[in-house]
Structure 1
C-alpha cells in the first residue's frame, strides 16, 4: 500500500473520487521496461495502473486507441492517463478472466480480433515517432550459434541463415501489429469478449507476426496448429486483395516467425533466464530448423 504515495496527487484524487477507498494493491508482472504494473482493488471493482518510463504504451492508449473502431472493443478501456517529467501512468480496465489454456491452440475469437486490427489499419501510418521493429540481424544469428558446441553450430549455421533470409522477406510495414500476442497477454470479459492488454511492442509490420505469436511454444511437428491458424485467418480475409496469400505460404511464414521468436529470445536472454529454459529452447530450435528444411 506504500506504493500509493508514489502516485501523482491528481491520480490519487481521481481514484478516491471514482472508485472509493482502496482495499488492496497487488503488484503484477507485465512491464518489460522500467516501471510497474498494479491491480488496485476497491469495494466493488478493480483497475489496473501501469507506470512506465518508456512512453510507448502510454502513447498507444492516448493516441492510437482513439483511432480504432472495430478493434477498440478488444483493448482495455482507458480511464485516466497522466505524464510528468519522463514518467507515464495509465489507469485501465481490469479484465476479469485470463484466456484458459484450452483456448491457446489457434482460438478463432483471438484470430478474428487480430484480423480486425490488421484490416482496420491496413496501409495506415502508426502515429508514433518511434516504435518496436521486428528484426533479425547477423549479430543475432552469431549470438545464437555461439551457444552451441562447434559441431552443432557448423550444422545449424546454413539452416539459420536460410530462415533469416526468409524472415527478411516477410518483414514489411503494411498494418499495425501488437507484436506480443502470446496467449498470456489475452483476457476475457464477462460477456466473452477477448481482450489484448499488453501494447509495449505496438508496431507496423506483417500481420503474420501477430498470428504466429498466438501459438504457444515453437509450433507442431505435423503443422496441424499452424494449418489451423492459417485457415482461420485466411477465412476472415476471404477474397480481400490486401492479404492475398496461399495457405502453404502462410504456414511457411508462421514457421519462420516462430523460429525468429526463439532466435530473438536466445540472443537477448541467454544469460538472464534459467539454464533449463535456455537449454529447452535451444533443443527445440534445432528440431524446428530441420523441420523447416523439410517443409520448404
Structure 2
C-alpha cells in the first residue's frame, strides 16, 4: 500500500511501502545507474553507508527505509559526514557498469539563462565560469553527485546514510561538497567546508578545491534551474526568483578566487 510519496527533484516516483511487514522505500522507474549501484557497487564502497537492497523487480527498486530525516544544519554536525564522503572519493573501486556522465554543456547553460533572464554582464560571467569547468569533470574520484540534505538520513541507531545514488559517477570531490553549503554561500563558508573535508582527504590542495567548489556551485545553479522547469516543480518560480536576486552578488564575490 502506498504510504507517502517522497519524490522531490528526482525523476523516479518514490514512496514508502510495506514489504513482508517491514517498511521499505520503493523507487519506481529507478535508473540503471542506481540499480547497478545497489546491486554491485555498494558492497565495494567501504566506509560509506547506503541503504540495503531489499528487492529488485525490473526498474522497481526496493531499498531499506532510512526513517529519520535530517536538516542541513544537523547534517553538517554529523561527526562522520566528511569521513564518509572522503572514503567514497578515495575509493579505488572501478565500476563495472556505466555510471552517470556529469558535464556542463552550452545547451544546458543557454536553457537556464533563458529562464533566469539575468543582465548580460551576469550571463557573461556564468559562461566564463563554464569555460573553466572541465577540471571538475576530469577528476577520476567516485562521487555521489547529489549530496543535498534531502538525500541523507539516520537509522534508529544514529548511523548516517546517503540514500540517493542515481547520479553516482566520477568528478571532483567539490561536486559533493557544494550542496553542503547553505544557499550559494561565501568564500568563508567554502573554506570552512574545505577545512573539515581535508582532514580526511588531502588529495587536492585547499586552493584547488576552493576553485572547484565555486565552479561546482555555479554548475549546480544551471542544473537545478533546468530540472525545476523540465519537471514542472510547483515551487519553481520561488526558486528561480531567489536565484535571480542572489546570483549577481554571489558571482561578484567569488570571481577573484577563480
TM-score, normalised with respect to structure 2: 0.87
- Corresponding residue to 2:221 among 262, 266, 272: 262
Matched, 1:60 2:37: yes
Shift of 1:42: 7.5
Matched, 1:251 2:210: yes
Q: Which residue of 2 aligns with 1:117?
A: 88
Q: RMSD over aligned Cα, in angstroms? A: 2.5
Shift of 1:180: 0.6
Q: Which residue of 1 aligns with 2:68?
A: 97
Q: Which residue of 1 aligns with 2:246?
A: 284
Structure 2 stretches of 5 or more lacking a match? none
3-state SS of paired residue (1:171):
helix
Q: 1:118-137 CA deviation, whole Å, 9 max, x = no partner?
A: 1123xx432223x3222212
Distance across 1 between alignment mates of 2:32 and 2:19: 27
Structure 1 stretches of 5 or more lacking a match? 4-24
Distance across 2 between alignment mates of 1:56 and 1:255: 27
C-alpha contact 2:72 2:180 (8 A) present in aligned 1: no
3-state SS of paired residue (1:39):
strand
Q: Which residue of 2 aligns with 1:213?
A: 179
Shift of 1:269: 3.3
Cα pair distance change 1:205/1:244, threshold 3 Å: closer
Q: Which residue of 1 aligns with 2:97?
A: 128
Cα pair distance change 1:70/1:295, threshold 3 Å: closer
By relative contact order (CA 8 Å, sep 6+), the higher-ranking structure is: 2
C-alpha contact 1:106 1:215 (8 A) present in aligned 2: no
Q: Which residue of 2 aligns with 1:139?
A: 107
- Corresponding residue to 1:227 among 188, 191, 201: 191
Q: How does 1:170-209 map to 2 (within 5 A)?
A: 170-209=136-175
C-alpha contact 2:135 2:212 (8 A) present in aligned 1: no
Distance across 2 between alignment mates of 1:32 and 1:102: 22
Distance across 2 between alignment mates of 1:178 and 1:290: 29
Q: 1:29-85 CA deviation, whole Å, 9 max, x = no partner?
A: 25823x4322124797422222225322111100111222332xx1011122232xx
TM-score, normalised with respect to structure 1: 0.77
Query: Bigger radius of gyration, 1 or 2?
Result: 1
How many correspondences in the alignment?
255
